[in-house]
Structure 1
Amino acid sequence: MNFLVVFIPFAFAIILGRIMFPFILLVSYRKRLFDPIDERKLHQRIIPRLGGVAFAPIQCCLLVLTLVVIFKLTSINLHVESWAILPSLMVLVCGLFILYVVGLGDDLVGVDYKWKFLIQICVASLFPLSGLWINDCYGLFFIGSLSPWIGFPITIFIVVLIINAINLMDGLDGLCSGVVGVGCLFLGTLFLLERAWLHALFAFITTGVLIPFFYYNVFGTSRRKRQIFMGDTGSMTLGFSMSFLAISFAMNNHFIKPFSLGAITVACSTLIIPVFDVARVVYVRWRIGKPLFKPDRNHLHHKLLRMGLSRKATLLTILFLTLFFPVINCFLVKYVDSNIVVGCDILLWLGVHLSFNLEEKRRGKIKSKSYLTTKLHI
C-alpha cells in the first residue's frame, strides 16, 4: 500500500500534465505569448514559453491532497514524525509559490536579474529556518558534522546555485526537463529504498508532470507540431524542487531516512552536469572579462552542437552523463572513500570536457578548410 501512495499520484501527475499543456498551448497562441527570437536562441520560430505554469500547481496540489487522503481517509502508516517533516514541506510549498509568481512575472513582462537573485536568496533562506540544511559532510573533504553557522550559509549558497544551474540548462528542447526528470527519478527511487515515503512522493510527482511536458517540448502536438517551453516559471521551481530533494537526502536526519555513508556525494551526483557546467561558464566569463550574468553560447549543449551532433543526439548524450554519474557514485561510495569518488568525478568531467573541446576545434578547422577550398574554387 505504501508503494501505491507514491505511484498513484505519479500517474495522476502524468494525466494532469497531459490535460494542462494542450490548454496552455491554446491560450498562449490565442494571446500571442511567445518566447522572443534572437541570435542566442536555437529556435527560429514562435514558441510559447509558459509550460512551467503547470508545474508548481500540480506538484503542490497532488502532494497536499495525497497527504490529506492518507492521514484522514486511510489507515496507511507512513512512519512519519509529522512535527519533524511538516515544516520543511510547508517551506517547500511556500518557496515554490514565491518562485512561481516571480517566474511568471519574468516570462510575461520581464524581471531584472538582480531582483530575481535577491528573491532566490530569500527563498533559499527558508530551508535552514525550517530545519532543513547541510549538517554533515560524511567525511567529504575530511569534514564531519557542521555547525549551523557554517551549514546555514552553505545551504543557502547551494540552493541558489542549483536554481540558477537548472535555469541555465534550459537552452535545448527537452534538456532541462530531462535532466531534472532523471535526477528526480533517481532520488525518488533512493527515497523509496530508504522508506522515506513523503520525499519519494514529491520526487515521483515532479517526474510525472515532466513526462508529458518533455513530449510537448521535444516533439510538439500531433497535428501542427506546436512545441512549448517551460520559461523561468518552470526552471526556477524545478531548481527549487531539486534543491529540496538533494538537501533532504544529504541531511543527516533520522526523521527523513536512516544514516547512509556518502549520502551527500550521492545527492550531489544528480546535479554534477548542470552545476559543473554553470561553474565552467561563469569562470570563462570572468576570465575574459564578460558580465557573469550575460547569456552566451558557451554551455555544454552549445559545444556538442558545434561538434556536429544533432539536437536529439546532444540531448541523449547529456542525459546519459546525467544518469551515469549518480548511478556509478551510488555503487562506489559503498566501497571507496567519498573524497576519492569526488576526485574521480572531477577528473572524469574534465576529461570529457577536454575531449569535447578538442573535437570542437577539429570540426572548426575542417569547416575553415572547407570554406577556403570552396572560396578558392569559386
Structure 2
Amino acid sequence: MTLFLTFVTSLIITYLSIPSIIKVADEKHLYDLPSEIKTSHSTGIPTLGGIAIFGGTLITSTFFIDFDTIPRFNYILCAMTLLFFTGVKDDVIPLTPSKKFIAQVISAGILVFKANIRLTSLYGLFGIQALPYWISISISLFTIIVIINAFNLIDGINGLTGGVGIIVGLTFAFFFYQIQETGWVVFILALCGSLMAFLKFNFANKIFMGDTGSLLVGCISVVLCISFIEHPEVQKKYSNSFTPVFAFCILIIPLFDTLRVFTIRIFNKKSPFQGDRKHLHHILVDGGLTHWQASFIMYLANLSIILLAYSLKHISALFLLFGVLALCTVLSFLLVSFHKPKSKSSNINKPQAIEH
C-alpha cells in the first residue's frame, strides 16, 4: 500500500503542478525559443517541467521514506537540490558550461564524500578487484558527472528522458524490491510517478523538463546505479563482475548515445560538447518519425538490451559488455545508413541544453 500511495501521490502532485507552471511561463514569457540547428518547433514552449518533477519527487519521498532505510539520504537530497537550482537558473537564464560543470562537480562531491555513493571495486571486471581509495574517488566522481550529463544530452525530443528515466528506475526498483530495500523502491516510485505525470504534458508538446528535470533524473539514476553495484545482497545473488556490466546495460540509451556522439565529434576534430544532430533520437526524427514514435523505439531498444543482458548473466561479464557495445554499434550504423533525413523543416525537437 505504501508503494502504491507513493507512486499515486507523486503523480498527482506533479500533474496538478504543471498547469500552474505553464501559466506562469506564459505570463512571464519563459520559453524555449526555436533555433535553426537544434530545434524547429515553431512556437516557444516552457522548459520548467523539471520544477514539478522535483517537487513531486521531493515531497513524496520525504513523506513516505523511512530515512533509516537509506543511509545518509539527506546528502542525496542536498545534491539533488543543488542540481535543481542549477537547472532552474539555466532554464530561465542560460549558464555558461563552466558554471554548470562546477555545480555538477560539487554535487558529485557531496554524493561521494558525504553520502558515500562511490564505486569501491570493479568486482573482477578487466581483472580489477578493490580500488585504492583515491582511484575509487576519481572513478566515482567521473561516473557521476558522465551519467548526469548523459541524461541531459538525450533530452532532445519529447518523452525520451522521462520515459528512459522510468525504465531505468523501475528496473532498479525490481532488483531492490527483491532484496527488500523498500526505501530505495519508495524513492524510485516517487520519481517515476512524477515522470509519468510529466509525460502526459510533454507528449502533448506543452512543456519540456529542461535542465532542471534532466539533471535531476541523471542524478537519481547514477545514485541508483552505484548503490545497486555496491549492495552486498546484489553481489551475493549475481556473479561479481556481472553487476557493473548490467548496470551499464540498464543505462544503455544515455551512455551509448553519449559515447557515440562524442566519438564522432572528436573524430571530426570538433569539440565533444558542440551541438549537432548526430544523436540517435535526432536521426529518427529527421527520418520522418514523430517524437512519440522515436521515443518508443528508444524505449524498446533500452528494454531489449536490459532483457538480453539479464538472460546472459551466466556468461563472461567482459564478453557481455563488448557484445552489447558491438550490437549497439551495428544497430546504430544501420539506423544511420537507412534513415536518411527528409528535410530540416520536418524536424521537431528540443535543444540540447548542455550543448548551448
If the length of structure 1 is used for normalisation, what is the TM-score? Answer: 0.85
Equivalent of 2:185, from 193, 200, 204?
Answer: 200
Counterpart CA distance in 2 for 1:176 and 1:276 is 14
Counterpart CA distance in 1 for 2:235 and 2:185 is 11
Counterpart CA distance in 2 for 1:215 and 1:283 is 34
Q: Which has the higher contact order (CA 8 A, sep 6+)?
A: 2
**1:11 and 2:8 aligned:** yes
Paired amino acid for 2:9:
F
Q: 2:221 — aligned with what?
A: 242
Q: 1:109 — aligned with what?
A: 93
**1:92 and 2:71 aligned:** no
Structure 2 counterparts to residues 1-378 of structure 1, below 5 A: 4-39=1-36, 40-67=38-65, 85-87=70-72, 89-129=73-113, 130-220=115-205, 227-253=206-232, 260-261=238-239, 262-333=242-313, 335-360=314-339, 363=340
* C-alpha deviation, 1:86, in angstroms: 2.3
Paired amino acid for 2:324:
D
Counterpart CA distance in 1 for 2:189 and 2:312 is 25
Report how many aligned residue pairs link the two structures. Answer: 339
Deviations for 1:308-349, whole angstroms, at most 9, x for unmatched residues?
33333211111111111122212211x212111111101110
Deviations for 1:256-283, whole angstroms, at most 9, x for unmatched residues?
8855322222222121111111111112
Paired amino acid for 1:9:
T
**Conserved in 2, the CA contact under 8 Å of 1:107 and 1:231?**
yes
Counterpart CA distance in 1 for 2:71 and 2:271 is 41
Paired amino acid for 2:290:
S
Counterpart CA distance in 1 for 2:183 and 2:145 is 24
| 2:117 alignment partner, SS class | coil
Paired amino acid for 2:78:
C
Counterpart CA distance in 1 for 2:306 and 2:328 is 13
**Conserved in 2, the CA contact under 8 Å of 1:252 and 1:259?**
no
Aligned Cα RMSD in Å?
A: 1.9
**Conserved in 2, the CA contact under 8 Å of 1:18 and 1:212?**
yes
* C-alpha deviation, 1:135, in angstroms: 1.5
| 1:125 alignment partner, SS class | helix
Paired amino acid for 2:3:
V
- With over 3 angstroms needed to count, the CA separation of the structure-2 counterparts of 1:32 and 1:257, relative to structure 1, is farther
Q: What runs of 5+ residues in structure 1 fail to find an aligned partner?
A: 72-79, 221-226, 368-378
Q: What runs of 5+ residues in structure 2 fail to find an aligned partner?
A: 344-356
If the length of structure 2 is used for normalisation, what is the TM-score? Answer: 0.90
Counterpart CA distance in 2 for 1:233 and 1:197 is 27
Deviations for 1:182-234, whole angstroms, at most 9, x for unmatched residues?
111111111111211111111111111000101100025xxxxxx10011111
Counterpart CA distance in 1 for 2:256 and 2:183 is 29
Counterpart CA distance in 2 for 1:188 and 1:346 is 25
Paired amino acid for 2:124:
G
Counterpart CA distance in 2 for 1:147 and 1:37 is 48
Counterpart CA distance in 2 for 1:176 and 1:144 is 33
* C-alpha deviation, 1:159, in angstroms: 0.7
**Conserved in 2, the CA contact under 8 Å of 1:140 and 1:339?**
yes
Counterpart CA distance in 1 for 2:137 and 2:231 is 14
Structure showing greater radius of gyration is 1
* C-alpha deviation, 1:95, in angstroms: 0.5
**Conserved in 2, the CA contact under 8 Å of 1:103 and 1:234?**
yes
